Amino acid sequence: MSEQQIKEVVGLMDVMIEDSSVPKNIRKVVGDARIHLLSNEEANTRISSAVQALVGVSEDINMPMHTRTQIWTILSALESIQQ
């Protein structure tokens, strides 16, 4: 597992956080997941915490489709890093 891969995922999160078309509540959850990834905990713990936060928000029925696709992309990247 590479810190570089985690930084790439954080970059994807940054794009979502800056996107004003993403609902505010979803940007907050993505921001919280980003904080988990950048913490000083063990890598698996950081990734698991971020995945848990993002899975919860990915089930929001009011989420725009482009935002859901971005969330799924981030989740896929995190799960591939974790394995």
pLDDT at 60 over 90: no
Residue 26's SS3 state is: helix
Residues 6+ apart with CB under 8 A from 73: 12
Q: What is the pLDDT of residues 8-48, one digit of tens each?
A: 999 999 999 999 999 999 999 999 999 999 999 888 899 99
Residue 59: closest CA among 43, 78, 75, 47: 75
What b/e sequence results for 11-37 when a residue is b if at least 16 CB atoms lie within 10 Å of its CB, and e otherwise?
A: ebbeebeeeeebeeebbebbeebbebb
What are the extents of the domains in the chain?
3-82
Q: Quick one: pLDDT at residue 36? A: 92
Enter the tokens of residue 65: 């489709």
Share the mean pLDDT of the chain: 91
Note if the pTM is more than 0.85: yes
Q: Quick one: pLDDT at residue 1? A: 55
Task: Give the integer Cα–Cα distance in Å for 6 and 77.
Answer: 9
Domain 3-82 of CATH type 3.40.50.10490: no
